[in-house]
Amino acid sequence: MAERARQIYEETTDAAVAKTADARGAVKRLAVEASDFGREARSAATGQLSRGVRQVGSRAKATGESVHSVEDTLRRHGQERVADMASHAANRLESVGSRLQNAGRVSRWTRFKAFTKPWVPVAGAVLAAIAAYRFLVSAGRRDNRR
């Protein structure tokens, strides 16, 4: 009887271990799929946002150009003060529009600077420390030889 109970226990344990391994594998696969889905969703959202911002920038710039034409009309009608205000507003709209059109376009140089920013001083300090160490060791050897 005890032998049969042990056999049933071992069979049950083996089955449970196998089911647990299957479940772990399924969870890992789902985690990878979810991670991939998250990356794809983030990329799509970033692309949509970038396109939207550039479109808004284009429209703002076009509105600024239209306001400049209104400015010209105001000047022809002798309304200099209002034309100056329109010119100022048009310049601001064009400036904001240009910035928005160029938003999200990060240059390689900017990425490089952002990457190297924390490492440049650390690397310089390490190189300086190595040079100082070698200098002191070689100076100490020269003094010992005399």
- 70-72-78-80 Cα dihedral, nearest 10 degrees: 80
pTM for the whole structure? 0.50
Residue 136: CB atoms within 10 A of its CB come to 10
Q: End-to-end alpha-carbon separation of the chain, Å? A: 91
pLDDT in tens, the chain (146 residues): 778 777 887 888 888 888 888 888 888 888 888 888 888 888 888 888 888 888 888 888 888 888 888 888 888 988 888 888 888 888 888 888 888 888 766 556 666 666 666 666 777 778 888 888 888 777 766 666 65
Helix (H, G, I), strand (E, B) or coil at 146: coil
Task: Report the interhelical angle of 2-76 vs 80-102 (nearest 10°).
Answer: 150
Locate 105 and state its tokens.
């376009």
